[in-house]
Amino acid sequence: MMQEEEKILKSHGLRSTVFRAQVLSIFNEKPSQALPQDFIESSLGEFDRITLYRTLKRFEEVGIIHKAINVDEEVRYALCSDDCSTHDHNDEHPHFLCEMCGQTYCLDTVGMPEFEIPGGYKLNEIMLSLSGICPQCNKDQSL
> Taking every pair of C-alpha atoms in the chain, what is the biggest distance, in angstroms?
53
- Of 139, 56, 118, 125, nearest in space to 95 by CA: 125
Encode pLDDT of 62-103 as tens digits.
999 988 877 667 888 888 876 665 555 566 788 888 999 988
Encode pLDDT of 28-40 as tens digits.
998 888 999 999 9
φ/ψ of residue 109, rounded to 5: -90, 0
pLDDT at 87: 56
Tell which wins on pLDDT, 130 or 20.
20
For residue 26, CA distances in Å to 2, 11, 33, 62, 99 come to: 12, 18, 11, 18, 23
> Across residues 122-127, what is the average pLDDT?
81
Tell which wins on pLDDT, 123 or 134.
134
pLDDT at 143: 64
Query: Looking at the predicted structure, is the pLDDT value of residue 136 above 80?
Result: yes
> Across residues 104-108, what is the average pLDDT?
85
Global model pTM greater than 0.85: no
pLDDT at 1: 47
Enclosing H/E stretch for 94? none
Encode pLDDT of 39-68 as tens digits.
999 999 888 999 999 999 999 999 999 888
